[in-house]
Amino acid sequence: MMTSPIQTDFQRAADAAAAADQAAAVAHAALFDFARELGDATAPVRKGDSPLGLRVRFVRRTPPHFDAPAGVHVEEAPKERPVGFASVVLEARDLYFAIESIPGVAVAAVTNVPAMDAYAASICGVHVADDGKPHLLVATAEGAVVVPAVHSARLLLDAFVASVGDVFLTRARFNPLPQAALPA
């Protein structure tokens, strides 16, 4: 029995849809692992009375059916986000660095921390490496995909906290205080 062109096209589209769903599932699993590692890494500095307010969120649409690992808040994404959306957000008060997966479009990062803009713009993926740990990937100017210097949850946390500290020092100077009152 011969297959019609529509049957062939339908099967090709169905196979592609299954592959896209699998790619999204892999990206979401890696993002969830990355959130877990960020939660673990923030444990020593996450204190209820800290003015920094450091926290990690895993946001997903369709509703997350995950138990939140220590130090990670799991939330449902707003309805405006496409089905299959997932994000890991590292926050300190009003500052953030988010790694987002929009299936079929991209894995990308966004931030409102000026010192991290260029780094965020270069993020193009996340995967679990041979060491069993999630790592961020960046696109080079030549189009290659590589593991950057800042690729693990711990290194991202270190870079984020240092950059956030610089932002808050700048904010502390908006209304200059006597030199002795400024933090070092």
Q: Does residue 180 lie in a domain region?
A: no
With respect to residue 181, please indicate whether it lies within any of the assigned structural domains.
no
**Structural domain includes residue 59:** yes
DSSP 68-136: PPTTEEEEEPPTTSPTT-EEEEEEETTEEEEEEEETTTEEEEEES-GGGHHHHHHEEEEEE-TTS-EEE
pLDDT in tens, 98-127: 999 887 778 899 999 999 999 999 999 898
Cα 112 from Cα 97, distance rounded (Å): 7
State the residue range of the domain holding 123.
Answer: 5-173
Q: Is residue 136 part of a domain?
A: yes
Q: Classify residue 184: in a domain, yes or no.
A: no
Residue 182 lies in a domain: no
Q: What is the pLDDT of residues 23-79, one digit of tens each?
A: 888 888 888 899 999 999 988 887 667 788 889 988 887 655 666 677 788 888 888
| 14 domain residue, yes or no | yes
Domain count across the chain: 1
Give the model's pLDDT for residue 112. Answer: 96
Residue 181 has pLDDT above 90, yes or no: no
Closest alpha carbon to 73 in 129, 104, 32, 15? 32
Residue 64 lies in a domain: yes
Buried b (16+ CB within 10 A) or exposed e, 60-83: bbeebeeebbebbebbebeeebee
d(CA 92, CA 162): 11
